[in-house]
Amino acid sequence: MNFDLNCPVCLQSLSGDSKHLECPDRHSFDAARQGYWNLLLANQKRSKDPGDNAEMVQARRNFLALGHYQQLADTIATRLAERAAEHQSPRILDMGCGEGYYTCRMEQQLQQSGVDYQLAGLDISKHAVKAACSQSKGITWMVASGARMPVADYSLELISVLFSRLMPDEFSRTLKPGAELLIAYPGEDHLIELRELIYDEVRHSGFDPATVLGEAFEHISTEAIRYRFSLPDQTQISQLLAMTPHGWRINQSARERLAALSQLELTLDVCLARFRRI
């Protein structure tokens, strides 16, 4: 084990090997057969099966495999590798890693850059992390809560948070002073064509991560990643809908409008923001 993990029960350091971890108080954890660590306690669950279920994970894998978000993933991975190259043997955490699509692209870019690194992915969904394990064995995968990450204090040089909830207190605790956050979130026009088909009134979120992160973080820059892509058939339209939160909110009439389409032109609009831990 080369990633500094804390026991989720008592917060003391975990030590061991690739199969078994234990803290000084003898709380112990065995690696799952697939290779991940389940460090999510029962009292940290708001439901019996938190996070994305198996169907949601599979829908996202199906859509991402089509390559429409590859340009986005490449840009995120390149920016992360650029930041990693500024450190010696950086420890990097992808919080809310899902099924590992972006995390694995980060790993590939870090390897191509020749950076000596340690990379972990964390998600509250066991189904997502199981899927991630099948994509890479070189990443430390964890099922855990982002609100109480089993990661040592001031042990990280980089945290990426891609389309996930921000946890400023935990980011402050686990990042070294001067370390960075890389945050991806939807821009105002992200999938605007789909949203206009679904909702009578399209609302803009006006989301600004700086207002959530507070005074412990300094905004460095925000980069807009924007391009057009096309879904050529009804199958891909349905796959995208199943992957997004809009699929949960859509009413029957909007579903029928989408079902009548033979293709759909879309805008990808994502903001990639850098923040420094003060």
45: confidence class by pLDDT, cuts 50, 70, 90: confident
Nearest one of 207, 200, 187, 198 to 268, comparing CA atoms: 187
pLDDT at 9 over 60: yes
Q: How far apart are the first and last CA of the chain?
A: 29
| Chain segment 187-218, per-residue pLDDT in tens | 999 999 999 999 999 998 899 999 999 999 99
pLDDT at 76 over 70: yes
pLDDT at 182 over 80: yes
41: β partners? none
DSSP structural state of residue 31: P
Q: Which two tokens stand for residue 63?
A: 């859509």
42: confidence class by pLDDT, cuts 50, 70, 90: confident
CA atoms of 222 and 214, how far apart (whole Å): 17
pLDDT at 37 over 80: yes
Nearest one of 270, 241, 275 to 62, comparing CA atoms: 241
| Chain segment 110-163, per-residue pLDDT in tens | 999 998 999 999 999 999 999 999 999 999 999 999 999 999 999 999 999 999
Q: Confirm whether residue 7 is marked as ligand binding.
A: yes
Q: Confirm whether residue 100 is marked as ligand binding.
A: yes
Q: What residue spans of the chain are helical by DSSP H?
A: 54-64, 70-84, 101-113, 126-133, 168-174, 192-198, 209-213, 234-243, 246-249, 252-259
50: confidence class by pLDDT, cuts 50, 70, 90: confident
- Radius of gyration for the chain, computed over Cα atoms and rounded to the nearest angstrom: 19
Percent of the chain with pLDDT over 70: 99
pLDDT at 2 over 70: no
Please report, for the chain, the start and end positions of each structural domain, with discontinuous segments joined by +. Answer: 35-187+204-224+268-277
Average pLDDT over residues 237-252: 91
CATH number of 35-187+204-224+268-277: 3.40.50.150
Confidence at residue 60, expressed as pLDDT on a 0 to 100 scale: 93
Q: Confirm whether residue 271 is marked as ligand binding.
A: no
Nearest one of 202, 180, 171, 201 to 189, comparing CA atoms: 202
**Mean pLDDT score of the chain, rounded to an integer?**
95
Q: Confirm whether residue 10 is marked as ligand binding.
A: yes
pLDDT at 90 over 60: yes
pLDDT at 43 over 90: no
Q: Confirm whether residue 23 is marked as ligand binding.
A: yes
Instruction: Give counts: helices (H), strands (E), the chain.
Output: 10, 11
CA dihedral 129, 133, 135, 137 (to 10 degrees): 140
Q: Report DSSP letters for 107-139, one per residue.
A: HHHHHHHT---EEEEEES-HHHHHHHHTT-SSS
Strand, coil or helix: what is 41?
Answer: coil
CA atoms of 55 and 52, how far apart (whole Å): 8
Q: Confirm whether residue 219 is marked as ligand binding.
A: no
Percent of the chain with pLDDT over 90: 88
Residues 6+ positions from 182 with CB-CB distance below 8 Å: 76, 79, 80, 83, 158, 159, 160, 161, 272, 273, 274
pTM listed for this prediction: 0.95
